Structure 1
Amino acid sequence: MTLMSSNTQTDTKPEQNALGFSLPRTVASRIGIVDDALRVEKYLYTSLVALTKRQMHAIELQDTNLLLRVLTERQTVVDKLVAQHKCFKPYRNVWDQLVDGFDESTRARIEKSIDELRTMAEQVADADEKAAETLKSRKSAVQEELLGAQKTRTALNAYGNKKTGNTARFQDTQA
């Protein structure tokens, strides 16, 4: 193995860490792993933010079918995000070893990307909370309307048991 610099090695044979997980030896390979993971997560979180906006729009329109379609799309993105997190978990467990040797500009770029992901995750969580509150208040309003209708029906029934519209006034019979 020949060392070319403190950050680059020509030997790409993985090294074992304390957890028994193999990390690529070259800094460039490790940067590639982190960049790829961050790129995928950014794409998924961007999709999730957009779907969250569509979800709120569907709630505002009170369009249940649209809301269900958006929620289905959203679940697909969430499933992909969970899978991405599972794939990257071994690297998170050895983060210090993974980023060992990254130069300051690379570390700053990665930290900025991670901060952007956190911001997007917070946006999604905040929007979900707002959507849940909106749906809960709409549910309460519908319950109050139904209760009001039931009270009206009860009051009308108090005046007598007149059947209106439930029986036919005329009958077709053959003689």
Structure 2
Amino acid sequence: MRTVFFSSTVLSVTVVTLVWRLVYIPDGGLLAVAAEATGAEPVAFLNDPRFAMPAIAVTTIWWCRGLPMVLFLAALQQTPRELYEAAALDNAGRWRTLRHITLPAVRRTTVLVITIEIILQFQLFGQAQLMTQGGPNNATRSIVLFIYETGWRQWELGYAAAAAQVLFAIIAVAAMAQYFIASRRGSGS
């Protein structure tokens, strides 16, 4: 099962987007066939500004779930079993065990995963470029796609470099904010 969940992570962004484009095709795609089987009208997810970004988000979540899963699994395996045995002897319920043993044991991993995922989501590029090219109506145009188009298509390299610096600052602020929030919670409990 670990291999099944982690296998999507080792695929390239090109393979992932090609597979998911086949899922989202309004004429003959997996979701269109499922909609027709239930009598519903197929939705053109990648052509509708309301559904394009959620479709890319689902693709990205499916693609990126492997690393957090492995990190959380490693954190759970590091938790001493004696703590769970002591909780069982004290008649602690599942919720109390979760709240007082499991969640504190995976707190640092949670901070790491959230920080990594925030940074990765700010760097969204391949999915939006390959699935919609930033459309429809710029609904899926990420900041990295904006930097790419400005620098390489319009040859406004200074403007693209400035946008890249802004992206760096946003990522740094988001990562530091997450770190400080997590460290304050960790010192308070």
TM-score (norm 2): 0.24
Q: Point out the structure with the larger helix share.
A: 2
| Structure exhibiting the larger radius of gyration computed from Cα positions | 1
TM-score (norm 1): 0.25
